[in-house]
Every structure is written in C-alpha cells, then in structure tokens.
Structure 1
Amino acid sequence: MRAQFVLSEIWIGLRRNLTMTVAVITTVAISLALFGAGMLINQQVSAMRGYWDERISITIYLCTESSPSKHCIENGPATDEDRNSLQADLKAMPEVASVEYVDQAAAWEDFQNRFSNRQALVEATQEGDIPDNFRVQLADPSKYERVQQSVQDRPGVDMVSNDKDVLDRFFELFDGLKWAALIVAVVQLAAAALLIGNTIRLSAYSRRRETGIMRLVGASNFYIQLPFLLEGAICGLIGGVIASGFIVATRFFLLDKIQDWFYSGVELSTGALLSVIGMSVILGVLLCTIASFLTLRRYLRV
C-alpha cells in the first residue's frame, strides 16, 4: 500500500507540473549531453596527444635556387658537402633515432599525394618548388628543440619544421572545444538545479493539504519527502537517458570523423563510452535529487 501511495503521489506531482517537468528534463538532457561530449573529447584528445607526442619528427628543408629566405640567398643552395655534413652530424646525435634524405623528385611526389584533394594547389606548384629535405625521427621526442636549434642556421639549411608546432595548434582547437562544452554544461546544470527546485517547490505547495494530513496521521519526515525526491530522481534519470543518445552520436558522428581526418591509431573503447554515459546519468540523478532535497528543507517544514 505504501509503495502504491508513493507512486501515485509521484504521478500526481509530475502531471500537475507537466510543463515544468518537461523543461527540467530538457535542460538536464542538454546539460548532460554537453558534459558527456566534453568528457569524450577530453579522453580522445588526451589519447591522440599521447600517440603523436611519441611520434614527433623534424623536417629540415634545404636551400635551393628558388629559396626566398635571406639565409639561402646569402649562402646559395645546399651543396653535396652541406648535405653529407648535416646527415653525418644528425646521425651522431643521441636524440636522433633515424635520418631519411628526400630528394626534390620524391618531395614533389609526396606533396602531390598529400594534397591530392586540392587540385588547384597541386597545379600551381611545379617540380622543384618543393625543396629536398631531411626527415628526422627522434629517439626522445621531448628533445626536439635541441635538435632543431643545432641545425637551424647551418649552411644549406633553409628552415626547420617540427610536428609539435602543428600538433599544438590542432590540440588547442580541441581543448577550446572541450572547455566550451564543459562551461556551457555547468551553466545548464545550474539552470537545471534551479528549475528542479522550483518544480518541486510548486509540487509541494500544490499538495500541502495531503502533506498536512500525512503529518496528522504520524507519517515520518522521510516518507513525506520521498515522493518529491523520487520525482527529481526520475527527471534526472530521463534526462540522463536522453543525453546518452546525444553522447553516443558525438562518438560516432564527431570523434570518428576526427579519426578519419587526423589518423592517430587511437580510438575510444566501448568501455570508455559506457563510463561517460554512466557518469552522466548518475550526475543527472544526483543533481536533481540533491536539488529536490535542498528545496524541501526550505519549503516543506516537516
């Protein structure tokens, strides 16, 4: 009988404040979806950063006849002696794992393959515009600056490019996306807490007569509060379930696309996805339950 009474009270409360209940569920779902998306992006970016940090390489571009830099104009194009000396010094460095020389023909072919989807750029570039270069794989990626500084101003060297500068700009973009999603989620969660508190307050006010009767017959404080707490928990649970769909969509329609655009060999496991979904649902239930409890302490004196 008690269980049936509690369930009937929950149904009455949800039905009487249907508009507010829908607003609460919607706000909770949006905020949890943003929270879960931020968590997924954080995990994906962390995994990708770890993968690429271990694979940072340096490309040393050599001077050619058409190099526009002041250093190349003053010293002329790289000679065979410059190339041999640079290669020997690189191989002797303990920070370097391997050195590969790429001549202009191979560099031009690699450029065409990399930018095959940008035909206008390929057509505007001629063979010889891409300088020959050395591709240096590091034994310790954290020591890239030492290698870069040691070859920066050598004769025959036009410029030195390292993957870390490109990766840092790329990951800054996703870090910004992650923090933007989390900040908006926090704001939405605060709004959800206020909405659920207001909904529970209205529900308690509309049922003040039933509450008074329950007090007279000796019902315990917990028994009187239970229907209201469960109302909040149900709103949080429904919002969390709806948010789960958006989180799954984020995984398959955003993060998987990132994998296609920026291959890292690392993708989130199903376990990581389920853990984010579980955390989001639990957060939704706890948020609404706690907001309901705090509201009841203020507006429902028992």
Structure 2
Amino acid sequence: MRLAFIMSELGSGLRRNLTMVISVILVTFVSLTFVGAAGVLQMQIGQLKGFWYDKVQVTIYLCTDVPTNTNCVSGPVTADQKATIQGLLDSPAVKPYVEKWTFESQAEALTHFKEQFANSPMVDSVEAGNLPSSFRIKLTDPEKYQIINESFSATPGVDSVVDQRKVLESLFSWMNIATIVAVGVAVLMIVCAALLIATTIRLSAQSRAKEIDIMRLVGASKTVIQLPFVLEGVIAATIGALLASGAVWAIVEFFMGGYLANGNTGTPIISTTQALVIYPILILLGVVLAGIASAVSLRKNLKV
C-alpha cells in the first residue's frame, strides 16, 4: 500500500514539474559530462606516459637500416658496437650517473609499441625492423642528461640520445592544466545542478502543501512523505548521469578513437573499454548529488 502510494505521488510530481525535471536532467548531464571528460583526460595522460615514462629518463636509440646521421652511415648497429656502448654505460666515467639501464631489442620494441598504440590504426602496419633497438637509462640525477648525451651522441652505432621526460614535459603540463579547467567547470556545474535540484524539490513540495497536510493528519511517517520528492530528484539526476555517460562514450569512441587516432597515428589513445570505469562513477555521483540536495532542501523547507 505504501509503495503504491509513493509511486503514485512520484508520478504525480514528475508530471506537475516536468519542465523543472527536464532542467535538472540537462544541468546534471552537462556537469557530469565535464566530470567524465576530466576523467578521460587523466586516463589519456596516463596512457601517454605509458610503458616507459615513469621508468625511463633517457633513451639511446641505435642505428637501423635507415641512417639518419653520420653515426649510422655504415648500416645497422653491430654486436661489437652494442658491446662498446654497454661497456661505456658500465665505465667509471658514466656509471656514477646511471641508476640502472636495460636493453630493448627490436622485437621487444614492437611488443611495447603494440601495447601503447593498441587503439591506433597504424599498429598493424609496423614491423620490428621499423623500430630501433635501444638502451633505456634511469639516471641518478635527471639533470645530468647532458653528460649522457655528450658521452653517447657521437658513438658509432648510436642514432640519437633522447631525454624522454623533456620531450613530453610540456605536453603533459598543458594536459594537466586542461584537466584542472575541466574539473573547475565541472564543480561549478555540479553546484548549479545541486541548487536546481533543491529548488525543484522545494517547489514541488510547496505545490502539494495541502496534500502533505492531509498526509500528516492521517499519520504518514516522514519517510513516506519525503521519499517521493527525493526520488524525483534522484530519477532526474540519474537520467542526466546516463546521458553524460553516453556523451563520454561518444567522445572516446568517435573523437578520440576516431578523429584523434586517425589524425595522430603516433599517439596512443585510450579505448572505450578502458573508459568503462568512468560510467558507474558518473551515475553514482548523480544519485548521491540528487539525494543529498533533495534531503537538505526538504529538511529546510518541509517541516514534517
């Protein structure tokens, strides 16, 4: 009986306040889309950091079949040249600056490339021979990169010496700024959504003041009286959260996985599968937001 009454009141409230409910859905949709976009951007930053960013500070790329400088005019790096480079890494002149190093073969480079660029259309067109083998070096002091560069850049068999962190530092800085901006806008929109939900619930309660008085007289509990109003906000916010989840999926699928992946074949892009973790968070956030806003509004404006 109580459940039927609550559902009846809920339906009545949704019909009477349809315009406000739609407003709540739209504001929740926009605010949670910004939240989801910020989450996707952080996931993309993590994807870009990938396999080596947190582990490698300097990479010594070795010569391949395609020479790019005078060190490689004699062809691909030889076994003797690799041994010479390894010996130099372990020499007293260089070793104090090197915390650890690893060698990555062309086959291993291809495996890591496929892991990092799994969502890129170029992944199937790259072969091991297209990628250079390399020594991956972690420095004891990242500021000593120039010492490694000077020690190895002219060594036979070395194609280039790259400080990977320097290459990506500015990119990640801009992406982190973009994330902060997205989060700031999301917080502002969430505040607007909470205020709109609270206003909607208050107006809905005021429009049914006589019905509420009758319910009090017949001994209805606070829960029975307040629950239909709370559910109005929760349902509207949940619909908005579902729409936001759909929008985030579309961003990842069509913009990032489609447009960006096709236009930037050298950039690893997150997939819709990786973004799945964001959707339940958005829905939960919408439900919690509506529940809290509705409960606070009822406590202040509906004395039961």
Q: TM-score, normalised by structure 1?
A: 0.70
Deviations 1:191-212 (A, max 9, x none): 0000000000000000000000
- 1:26 aligns with 26
Q: Distance in 1 between matches of 2:179 and 2:161?
A: 31
Give the SS at the match of 1:140.
strand
- 2:216 aligns with 215
Whether the aligned pair in 2 keeps the contact of 1:240 and 1:281 (CA below 8 Å) is yes
In the alignment, residue 89 of structure 2 is paired with which amino acid?
A: M
- Post-superposition shift, 1:246? 0.5
Whether the aligned pair in 1 keeps the contact of 2:58 and 2:161 (CA below 8 Å) is no
- 2:89 aligns with 93
Distance 1:30 1:265, change over 3 A: closer
Whether the aligned pair in 2 keeps the contact of 1:52 and 1:264 (CA below 8 Å) is no
Within a 5 Å distance, the mapping from 1:119-268 to structure 2 comes to: 137-140=135-138, 145-152=143-150, 161-256=162-257, 257-260=259-262, 261=264, 263=266, 267-268=270-271
- 2:115 aligns with none
In the alignment, residue 27 of structure 1 is paired with which amino acid?
A: V
In the alignment, residue 175 of structure 2 is paired with which amino acid?
A: F
- 2:119 aligns with none
- 2:127 aligns with none
Distance 1:47 1:169, change over 3 A: same
Give the SS at the match of 1:301.
coil
- Post-superposition shift, 1:52? 3.9
- 2:2 aligns with 2
Whether the aligned pair in 2 keeps the contact of 1:56 and 1:137 (CA below 8 Å) is no
Unmatched segments (≥5 aa) in structure 1: 61-76, 79-86, 101-133
Q: Percent identity?
A: 34
Within a 5 Å distance, the mapping from 1:99-118 to structure 2 comes to: none
Is 1:293 the counterpart of 2:289 in the alignment? no
- 2:279 aligns with 277
Distance 1:195 1:265, change over 3 A: closer
- Post-superposition shift, 1:175? 1.5
Whether the aligned pair in 2 keeps the contact of 1:235 and 1:285 (CA below 8 Å) is no
Whether the aligned pair in 2 keeps the contact of 1:14 and 1:231 (CA below 8 Å) is yes
In the alignment, residue 27 of structure 2 is paired with which amino acid?
A: T
Unmatched segments (≥5 aa) in structure 2: 62-69, 72-82, 91-97, 106-131
Whether the aligned pair in 1 keeps the contact of 2:57 and 2:137 (CA below 8 Å) is no
Distance 1:7 1:151, change over 3 A: closer
Q: Distance in 2 between matches of 1:192 and 1:5?
A: 28
RMSD: 3.5
Of structures 1 and 2, the larger Rg is shown by 1
Aligned residues, how many? 246
- 1:42 aligns with 42
In the alignment, residue 172 of structure 1 is paired with which amino acid?
A: S
Whether the aligned pair in 1 keeps the contact of 2:58 and 2:145 (CA below 8 Å) is no
Give the SS at the match of 1:219.
coil
Moved more, 199-208 or 51-60: 51-60
Q: Distance in 1 between matches of 2:214 and 2:138?
A: 74
- Post-superposition shift, 1:11? 1.9
